[in-house]
Amino acid sequence: MNDCGSSDILITTKQKNKGKYSITDDKNNRIVTVTISDLQSHDAGKYWCGVTRWGKDTYSEVKLYIKEDRCCYKVNKIQSIEEGSVTISCPYDSQSINKLKFLCRGNRPSTCRQQAVITSSNTQNGRFRLSDDRKSRIFTVTISSLTLKDSGSYLCGVQRNSGFDVFSAVELKVKAELFCLKSYNISGIEGRPVTLQCPNSGQQHDNKKFLCKGDQHNNCTDMMENQTKFKLLNVSSTCFSVIITELEAADAGTYYCGSDSQLRFTKIQLAVVSSNQTSSVAPTSSAEQVTSQPPSLSPSSHKPDVSLFYILPAVFALLLILTFVLLLVLKYKTRIKQVDRINANVLYSADNKVEMRINDIYELQEDAVYMNSSTPNMLSHDNDIYNNVL
């Protein structure tokens, strides 16, 4: 250990407060507590708590680790409809079975537990309900009567006695009732629930709803007879939801759902991913992004180079622009040549007319002189002609 010099001391019990450091001395329990506020990444490192004594001072080593107050690298994206409900699945490890579970809004782990909207010690809080399946090591939070304001980031958390709490992140998007689509793809994780959104053509909530599986909507197997696994919920005038409680590999395939009028139905392509092939922090729950494809099954999956998709259109657009500019230049030069040719013709025509008129005058003068020399008696008459010509 390197001895602490006087220049290394951050705070002492005689100061109590010094900048971002504060200190308290509990003499009854013989514990000194130092608080560092406004932590930054450079505050991480090794610290020593010391007590001055006659002779050699005593020290206790403390290592400070600082973690970014954001979570997480992977985010589970789910969506549902306004006035409906959604179930958020939160997995945890075997060491956290008896620990406190909680859900909070936002993505700041440091304040999540203090600002939790629901915890496992209070499983019902207004529109939020928490249930814990210890056998599967998954706790779920159901939010009912959704509004557009419920959209946003959420953190599933598990309290740890020492170190940092464990979190997984969820991004919820709540859409209006017109969320029901003609067709979409959705993926789910084996053993976990998934919610399917279906159109309701009738104005009455008590009309018959159907969910069937097969390649054709008019020739498929009715799945609503198994009410234990397929549960109807969130019925409105335009949409309803069907939740599959526990997905199995055999549940993958094509589904059709709608109301008994058959005027509107939705085609759903469901993919089921094995639970041991997914990340422990990114479960699929409820209606996952309906336009997305099933998640990648391997972190080493090849990601195509999409740069060509941006470069080729840009090069093609540049060639079109250059071609257009070249055509404009050629057209401009052609018009300039035509104008010059017209001007030349005009000038040439004008010169010819002037020359013709001068030649006519000269010819008339010659005729007048000739007539004057041959017929003197007509001189006065010839002079009149000459004057008239001039």
Q: How confident is the model at residue 347 (pLDDT cuts 50, 70, 90)?
A: very low
Neighbours of 22 (CB within 10 A): 15
C-alpha distances in angstroms, 8 versus 3, 5, 48, 61? 9, 5, 10, 14
CA quadruple 120, 123, 127, 128: dihedral, nearest 10: 20
Q: Which amino acid is at 11?
A: I
How is 262-316 classified by DSSP, letter by letter? -SSEEEEEEEEE-GGGS-TT----SEE-TTSPPPPS-TTPPPP--HHHHHHHHHH
- For residues 146-151, give the mean pLDDT: 92
The per-residue pLDDT for range 336-346, each reduced to its tens digit, is 666 556 555 54
- Kindly report the average pLDDT of the chain as a whole number: 77
According to the model, what pLDDT value does residue 254 have?
94
The helix (H) or strand (E) run that includes residue 22 is: strand 21-26
More confident residue, 160 or 142: 142
Cis peptide before 90 (omega within 30 of 0): no
* Percent of the chain whose pLDDT exceeds 70: 71
Q: How confident is the model at residue 293 (pLDDT cuts 50, 70, 90)?
A: very low
According to the model, what pLDDT value does residue 105 have?
95
Structure tokens at 154: 């959420």
- Claim: this prediction has a pTM higher than 0.75: no
- Please state, in angstroms and rounded to a whole number, the distance separating the CA atoms of residues 296 and 301: 7
- For residues 369-381, give the mean pLDDT: 46
> Which of 131-135, 164-168, 200-204, 366-370 ranks highest by mean pLDDT?
131-135
How many Å is the Cα radius of gyration of the chain? 45
- In this structure, are residues 295 and 87 in contact, taking their beta carbons and an 8 Å threshold? no
Q: How confident is the model at residue 373 (pLDDT cuts 50, 70, 90)?
A: very low
According to the model, what pLDDT value does residue 59 have?
80
C-alpha distances in angstroms, 306 versus 151, 297, 303, 319, 344? 31, 20, 9, 21, 59
Q: How confident is the model at residue 262 (pLDDT cuts 50, 70, 90)?
A: low
According to the model, what pLDDT value does residue 118 have?
96
- Please state, in angstroms and rounded to a whole number, the distance separating the CA atoms of residues 213 and 222: 7
Q: How confident is the model at residue 82 (pLDDT cuts 50, 70, 90)?
A: confident
- For residues 264-290, give the mean pLDDT: 64
Its sign, for the CA torsion 118, 93, 75, 43, is positive
Among the listed ranges 161-175, 219-233, 365-379, which one has the minimum average pLDDT value? 365-379
Q: Which one, of 314, 313, 277, lies nearest residue 297 by Cα?
A: 277
According to the model, what pLDDT value does residue 149 have?
93
Structure tokens at 126: 């207004």
Its sign, for the CA torsion 245, 251, 252, 258, is negative
Q: How confident is the model at residue 158 (pLDDT cuts 50, 70, 90)?
A: very high
Its sign, for the CA torsion 243, 246, 247, 248, is negative
Residue 204 has pLDDT above 70, yes or no: no
Residue 375 has pLDDT above 50, yes or no: no
